[in-house]
Chain A
Amino acid sequence: MSVTVTASSPAALRGARRAGAGARRRRVLMWVATHALALALALMFLAPAVFLSLTALMTDEQALTSRLWPHTWNWDNFATVFAKSQLLRWTANTLLYATLGTVFMLVSSVPVAYALARFRFRGRRPAFLLVITTMMLPPQVVAVPVYLLWARAGLTDSLWPLILPMLLGDAYSIFLLRQFLITIPRDYTDAARVDGCSDLRTLLRVVLPMARPAIAAVALFQFFYCWNDYYGPLLYGGVAQDGWTLSVGLATFKAFHSVQWNLTMAATLLVTAPVIVLFFFAQRVFIEGVTLTGVKG
């Protein structure tokens, strides 16, 4: 933070010059202090990932000791994880849930957000408040009757109860998209309407191209939400292991497959890696998207 002193009187100028040397030294000290603190914190933030990886590569015997550095690198652990659990099946299930969930969410939520942001109608405000309310409501509040609905449809013990509702809009995504869409100047959409575009054409030709960053961010958030979701698949995934997702499988891994930590850490690494890789491919979208979640109306 550079503070420029715009002094108006000669007295202030003289004072500023005298303070110059001291200020420079203070700035250097500040530079060292802030960067040292940031470095220390960064190391602490990275430490869990480092120890996770090291332990994932230990042999069974070594994982029982308190040594932190593997003396032999046991890459077989990853193969063992695949052999001992249904990790591939869980990955497939998680991908199905995350992909279909995201596509369905986009198809249903973009039009709703567009209508909330652009149409003038009575009930526009209550509708928006309803979006926020359903977004903030704990999923457990309505869990019992919703579960019974899906049980009657014969769809419990599958991930469909989590995927199909996405066709009817997702409150959080509608909220974020609406926040972005209201920042598009009305002139653009009004002009399209005056030129005789229908609502749908205005959305597809004018709004969608402008909203691309917001749509990408919302899609990524939804994908991550589904990938990381534990409560939903725990409730509907069923007892049989081949219906589980990665989160549900990983939660039971320690108890079922290994007394040692090395295999559990290898499995944890395999579950986390795709998310981190995806982040590095879409970093910009993420960083821009997060600011959407702030309070600015």
Chain B
Amino acid sequence: MASVSHAATPRWRRGEGLRALLWLSPWLVGVSVFFVYPLLATVYFSFHRYDLFTLEFVGLDNYRYLLNDPRVVTSARNTLWLVAFMVPAQVLFALGLAQLVTMLKAGVGLFRTIFYLPTLVPAVAGTVTFVFLMNPGTGPWNQFLALVGVTGPDWFGDPAWSKPSLTLLALWGCGNTMMIFLAALLDVPRHLYEAAAIDGAGPWRRFRSVTLPVISPVLMFSAITGVIYALQYFTQAMIASRVASGATDSAGSAFVPGYPDESLLTLPQWLFHVGFRDFSMGYACVLALLLFGTSMIFTLVLLRQFRRAEEGS
């Protein structure tokens, strides 16, 4: 039996499993050291109080504290806002921009480059620039609004406007998503549009019944990754708070992220503050597990999407 199956598979195919293991081993070590072990250690620390010096078992205290932490509620509410408004706004804007680029006849390359470029600007630099542009004193944005008769708010200094301000920044930096959509739109078979045109379908109808079904896997993929990135939202919010409030953040400083009024506080920032500024490592691990749980839900949705895409092709 064994010799028969050996004869059927070429010699160089034998032991492929073992060779694969060999090739994957550095990465497997990486996953163990930087993913599996830390995840288990996070669970372990979550039952302890740990400040880098003393380790003390406290049972479920950290979890009880979580339920009474008003900042967790605030972070969750802010993140929900990002998921409900910023992510759809960015996806739709990127889609509209990509569609516009497909309709252009002159200067396509130039327009595409201009729309793409801001995505490459370092997050810190982009955020600092927007805080300047939209500052109510000397910023050009409110001066522009005044020209058209609108009194602009104190964007990054007003808790009601800070998240919309960051949404504008996200729209400015949508170039990556736009390029993915652009590739998907150009992949839509041309004859489908022609068939729809003969059937007398208008532009909107053509978009809904031809374009949308073809690009929907790509849209779905972008929306889910968008949600996962919203859960990790850190840099832009932290920089906006810092620059707008004029505060520095260094170990031991009193700066609490989220300025103004914790309107930009997100879970990753709170975790960072608790763990690496207050050195409450145990409670930080509880926050980490909360973040892990929520991201895992959306990652599983993404994995299912992948399976579907691979079965389709």
- A-B contacts, 30 of them at CB < 8 A, read A35-B107, A38-B107, A42-B111, A42-B114, A45-B114, A45-B115, A68-B143, A111-B23, A112-B26, A112-B27, A115-B19, A119-B17, A121-B16, A139-B232, A142-B42, A145-B37, A147-B276, A148-B52, A193-B10, A227-B122, A239-B250, A250-B122, A254-B243, A255-B243, A271-B124, A275-B120, A291-B179, A294-B180, A294-B218, A295-B218
> Are A140 and B271 CB-contacts (below 8 A) given A51-B133, A272-B121?
yes
List of A residues within 8 angstroms of B184 by Cβ:
294
Q: Does B1 contact A (CB under 8 A)?
A: no
> Are A42 and B115 CB-contacts (below 8 A) given A119-B16, A143-B288?
yes
Interface string of B45-87 (1 = CB under 8 A from A): 1000000100000000000000000000000000000000000
Q: Find residues 1-26 in chain B having any chain A CB closer than 8 Å to their own CB.
A: 10, 12-13, 16-17, 19-21, 23-24, 26
Identify 9 new A-B residue pairs, CB closer than 8 A, beyond the known A66-B138, A136-B302, A295-B309.
A38-B101, A51-B140, A65-B138, A148-B41, A165-B30, A231-B235, A271-B125, A272-B122, A276-B117
B20 touches which of A119, A193, A246 (Cβ 8 Å):
A119
CB distance A137 to B30 under 8 Å?
Answer: no
Bound Cα distance A123, B37 (Å): 20
> Are A52 and B129 CB-contacts (below 8 A) given A66-B143, A140-B234, A230-B235?
yes
Interface string of A50-61 (1 = CB under 8 A from B): 011001000000
Which chain A residue has the least Cβ–Cβ distance from B290?
A141
Interface string of B102-145 (1 = CB under 8 A from A): 11111100110111111011111110111011010110100100
Bound Cα distance A193, B123 (Å): 46
A108 touches which of B27, B126, B234, B272 (Cβ 8 Å):
B27
Bound Cα distance A37, B93 (Å): 13
Main secondary structure of the interface of A (DSSP, over half): helix
Main secondary structure of the interface of B (DSSP, over half): helix
CB distance from B276 to the nearest CB of A (A): 6
Q: How large is the interface on B (under 10, 10 to 19, 20 to 34, 35 or more residues)?
A: 35 or more
A141 touches which of B123, B172, B292 (Cβ 8 Å):
B292
> Are A130 and B31 CB-contacts (below 8 A) given A3-B193, A290-B179?
yes
> Are A146 and B129 CB-contacts (below 8 A) given A112-B23, A287-B179?
no
Bound Cα distance A18, B90 (Å): 42
CB distance from A103 to the nearest CB of B (A): 15
CB distance from A177 to the nearest CB of B (A): 12
Q: Find residues 185-226 in chain B having any chain A CB closer than 8 Å to their own CB.
A: 193-194, 197-198, 217-218, 220-221, 225
Q: Does A63 contact B (CB under 8 A)?
A: yes
CB distance B292 to A137 under 8 Å?
Answer: yes
> Are A169 and B105 CB-contacts (below 8 A) given A65-B138, A256-B248, A261-B138?
no
Could you tell me which B residues sit within 8 Å of A by CB distance?
10, 12-13, 16-17, 19-21, 23-24, 26-27, 29-31, 33-35, 37-39, 41-42, 45, 52, 97, 100-107, 110-111, 113-118, 120-126, 128-130, 132-133, 135, 137-138, 140, 143, 172, 176, 179-180, 183-184, 193-194, 197-198, 217-218, 220-221, 225, 228, 231-232, 234-235, 238-239, 242-243, 246-251, 268, 271-272, 275-276, 281, 284-285, 288-289, 291-292, 295, 298-299, 302-303, 305-306, 309-310, 313
